[in-house]
Amino acid sequence: MRSFQSLIAAALLLSSCAVPGPEAAAPTATTCNLPAAITPAPAYDPPADEVVADEPTAFYMLALTWAPEDCRANGESPGYEVQCRDNDFGFVLHGLWPNGAARRHPRYCGPAPAIRPATVRKHACMTPSTVMQQHEWAAHGTCGWTTPEAYFDQAMTLWNAVKMPAPLGPMMTAGDLRDAFVAANPWMKREGIYIKAVEGNRLMDVRFCYGLAYNPMACKGSLGAGDEAVLTIESRRR
């Protein structure tokens, strides 16, 4: 998912037990500091072997990244200044992904010009990396939305409905983390929470699965880290 760095050096539908609407509290109380100007990341040509424009969308996945871990790996990279230098985020939005029914997923479905500065700024407290914004629009947004504005607005609706659990400790099991998210968000399905750990069982992503009407659903296939896995959670700076 992060190989792209080298290239650059509907409203939410509800049911009686579905996701709360966009009036829900924002996912984090962290102060968001933005510079006077934010330069969007440039557009780039997708790797030819990653283009999958003919796969229909079977469900969606909303991916949240644990920013301290992301910054541990990418904090010195261009485009990560807002996320890793100017702020102390917990979870940030990685992206909203159209997924296929099996292991083949829609990806790089059409042209992806650079995002307008106003759009980048509007969503910089949600997805703080300008590089990540451009990548998510190119790799995923083009597979279901005609503009980056439409894509990020849909992602923001889902993001705003997620309430963060209590502060995370330095270590916890993946099962406890799933339980914490369900406790904070009773509308979630526990079997709809995928947890990605990187080398050393370090927490990187928490992902939520949604049907085509953006209703919570069980994820198809793996849930990533098993409940018994003990996760190491990179601490925030303050």
Mean pLDDT of the chain, nearest integer: 89
User: Is residue 149 a part of any domain in this protein?
Assistant: yes
Inter-residue contact 83 to 28 (CB < 8 Å): no
Task: Using alpha carbons only, give the angle 127, 128, 129 rounded to the nearest 5 degrees.
Answer: 100
Radius of gyration of the chain (CA): 17
Amino acid residing at 121: R
Q: What would the two tokens of residue 14 be?
A: 């509800």
User: Is residue 166 a part of any domain in this protein?
Assistant: yes
Q: Does the structure show a pLDDT above 60 at 26?
A: no
Sign of CA dihedral 122, 127, 128, 131: negative
Q: Give the pLDDT of residue 194.
A: 98
The count of domains in the chain is 1
User: Is residue 74 a part of any domain in this protein?
Assistant: yes
Q: Tens of pLDDT along 103-155?
A: 899 999 999 999 999 999 999 999 999 999 999 999 999 999 999 999 999 99
Inter-residue contact 179 to 188 (CB < 8 Å): no
Task: State the Cα–Cα distance between residues 223 and 61, nearest whole angstrom.
Answer: 12
Inter-residue contact 20 to 187 (CB < 8 Å): yes
User: Is residue 6 a part of any domain in this protein?
Assistant: no
Task: Using alpha carbons only, give the angle 150, 156, 161 rounded to the nearest 5 degrees.
Answer: 140
Q: Cα 160 from chain centroid?
A: 12
User: Is residue 159 a part of any domain in this protein?
Assistant: yes
**Domain of 187: which CATH number?**
3.90.730.10
Q: Which of 71-75, 141-145, 194-198 is the least confident region?
A: 71-75
Quote the domain boundaries for residue 159: 51-232
User: Is residue 215 a part of any domain in this protein?
Assistant: yes
User: Is residue 92 a part of any domain in this protein?
Assistant: yes
Q: Which of 13-17, 83-87, 222-226 is the least confident region?
A: 13-17
Task: Provide the whole-model pTM.
Answer: 0.87
